[in-house]
Amino acid sequence: MAALDIPEQYLDGVALIGGLNDEAFNELVSALETAPLAFRHRLFASNVASEVKSISQADISQIVEMLISMNIVRRSASVEISEFINDVYEAVVDLGDEELDSIVEQEDQFKTRLSRLLSSKSLEVVSKAQSVILDHERRFCSVRIASSISPVFGSDAEQPPLAAVITHTLRISYHLESNDIKEFFVELSEKDLKKLSHSIKRAGQKAKALKAILDNEKLPNLEW
């Protein structure tokens, strides 16, 4: 039995690698090395697709997403590329999928192609960048602030309120490592809103300064 399982969502990407003719495959390899880097796989795939004429953007997106996922799994398991490729091939054989028969029949070609793709420096950078973010226990998803008025009544609740309090409820949603979404709530005063706004503005200023450093060093900024 194979040492790993290939998620169903990536099987089309695996099949595409085996089905490309040599010209299209070499064009893909070349594009992976020259396309502008991007953190998100769809944007990176789009950059690659803009330099490839013989493969559709949809197919390239499937291939790139699959390769990035494989690279992240391989690195997290600390497995050499050659060993990982053998595991992938064994997983393909175990599936017994007719659509993958050409890969099983052309073992050497498939392993050579997958090795060249997984050895791509650009792909390695994108995969590492995603690993850095995915390693965090919580990742920001969305934010919302709900503002309301809370009346303050006296001892006689039938009488009009004596005063009121303006409240602001901050809701932050975040992704766990499992990609499940959780959320938490925090009550804020107007002073708290100003503190929050100041911190966000300051973070934006620091981001601008850090981007300037990257530009000066000619390092790509993989914004996510």
pLDDT, mean of each 10-residue run, the chain (224 residues): 77 90 95 91 92 93 93 88 92 83 87 94 90 83 96 93 95 88 95 96 95 91 82
Tell me, yes or no, whether 173 lies in a domain: yes
* pLDDT (0 to 100) of residue 7: 86
Tell me, yes or no, whether 57 lies in a domain: yes
Buried b (16+ CB within 10 A) or exposed e, 103-126: bbeeeeebbebbeebbebebbeeb
* pLDDT (0 to 100) of residue 2: 55
* pLDDT (0 to 100) of residue 3: 67
In this structure, the answer to whether residues 218 and 149 fall within a common structural domain is: no
In this structure, the answer to whether residues 71 and 105 fall within a common structural domain is: yes
Q: In angstroms, what is the C-alpha Rg of the chain?
A: 25
Strands (E), the chain: 138-152, 163-176, 181-188
Reduced to 3 states, what is the DSSP secondary structure of residue 142?
strand
In this structure, the answer to whether residues 222 and 111 fall within a common structural domain is: no
For residue 90, the 8-state DSSP code is H
Q: Range of 77's domain? A: 8-134
In this structure, the answer to whether residues 125 and 48 fall within a common structural domain is: yes
Reduced to 3 states, what is the DSSP secondary structure of residue 162?
coil
Reduced to 3 states, what is the DSSP secondary structure of residue 146?
strand
Tell me, yes or no, whether 1 lies in a domain: no
Tell me, yes or no, whether 3 lies in a domain: no
In this structure, the answer to whether residues 106 and 28 fall within a common structural domain is: yes
In this structure, the answer to whether residues 15 and 122 fall within a common structural domain is: yes
What is the number of structural domains in the chain? 3
Residue at 200: amino acid letter: I
In this structure, the answer to whether residues 223 and 161 fall within a common structural domain is: no
In this structure, the answer to whether residues 119 and 223 fall within a common structural domain is: no
* pLDDT (0 to 100) of residue 136: 80
